[in-house]
Amino acid sequence: MSSIFKEKSKDPGSYARTGTLHLNGIQIETPIFMPVGTRGSIKSLSSSDIDELGYNLILANTYHLYLRPGKEVLDHFHGLKNFMSYKRALLTDSGGFQVFSLASLFKFEEDGVRFQSHIDGSHHKFTPSSVIDMQRSIGSDIMMVLDDCAPYGSDLGRLELALDRTHRWAKESYNYWMENPGGQNVFPIVQGGVNESLRKRSLDTLQNINFPGIAIGGLSVGEPRPEYIRILECMAPFFDAARPRYLMGVGTVVDILEGVKNGIDMFDCVLPTRNARNGQVFTSLGKINLRNESHRLSDGPIDPECGCKVCVTYSLGYIRHLHKVKELTAFSLSTYHNLFFMQSFMEKMRKSIEIGNFQGFYDHWKNLFGS
């Protein structure tokens, strides 16, 4: 199988690296942050906004798209990209995280999971092959296998069970995908909770299958940050250099810094867009709560060092006003700014690795955003 990833530069003091991801003619520079378009839309932004921001890879959610608009609609429109008028690369998760987050609606079976829709209570089933079929209908460039993400705090028996399911389903998914790759890629998902031995076993098992990339699941799901860092550090020396590594559902500045330091190439999270809608933006000076009274008369931009169209055009005082009166424009302007910030942050990080200054970059931003 031809590689979809090429490593470009490495930081001598850590596992941080830059690279290029090649997806059906689209080049993506890594490390990369992917905005989340759960239902085929990044909340409050249009596809032209995403294009303008320069995001070459975004994420959508298989579970939600399966329920609405459904496979028939996506087949009719020849995939999600045509449906939403987005022409760049797309990654989809498998619905495995919804099994975790909506646990009361799901029931594990030997060959998959049965679940009730959170919308209308209707009954459905996901199997390793059916989620591949759904992602074929979506037309994603990177698909995820169905997995079992054990909750934080699970005992060894539950973690072992999750590993057995995850590995078995990954092998089934790989074999089914290889019958008709169709220009799409599939990543397996490393599990094992905060147990170092299980994490190494999972990584070894899945890297021994010829998947084009590897994903790490089950982190940033409630564990303390020292546990998160410990698990990343235990895996970092064993990552295959030839494959991209995707850390699922991670998107705070500090967590991304720790991920990149330990060799991660790809991140996604709803946090920058969700926080923006709730009035929190990220800046070169740290986080800002737009609703604070202290911003009422501010005639400067959200961030004096930001070149996005929001900061160039609007005052902080005006955007605060929009949030206070709940104008819908507040959501789109704040979201646009936060995604511009994330794009710029990742670009600066790549540059710091290339010029050998990642440690300085890490220290600066960790001090600014560390909690």
Q: Which residues are catalytic?
A: 93, 268
259 is in an annotated binding site: no
Judge whether 234 is annotated as a binding position. no
Nearest alpha-carbon partner for 237 in 211, 203, 209, 208? 203
Residue 359 assigned ligand-binding role: no
Q: Is 269 annotated to bind ligand? A: no
Instruction: Show the DSSP H helices in 77-127 as ranges.
Output: 80-84, 96-101
Instruction: Output the six-digit token pair for 121.
Output: 């209570």
- φ, ψ (nearest 5 deg) of residue 300: -90, 175
Q: Is 79 assigned to a binding site?
A: no
Query: Helix 156-178 and helix 196-207: axis angle, to 10°?
Result: 10
Instruction: Assign 92 to helix, strand or coil.
Output: strand
Known binding residue 75? Answer is: no
Q: In whole angstroms, what is the distance from residue 244 CA to residue 4 CA? A: 8
218 is in an annotated binding site: yes
C-alpha triplet 6, 9, 15: angle, nearest 5°: 100
Residues 20 and 30: beta-carbon distance below 8 Å = yes
Determine if residue 97 is labeled as part of a ligand binding site. yes
Phi, psi of 179 (to 5 degrees): -65, -30
Coil, strand or helix at 31 = coil
Residue 337 annotated as binding? yes
Q: Are 114 and 107 in contact (CB under 8 A)?
A: yes
To the question of whether residue 147 is assigned a binding role by annotation, the answer is yes
Query: Using alpha carbons only, how large is the chain's radius of gyration in Å?
Result: 20
191 is known to lie in a ligand binding site: yes
Instruction: Extract the annotated binding site for Zn(2+).
Output: 306, 308, 311, 337
Give the residue numbers of the binding site for substrate: 93-97, 147, 191, 218
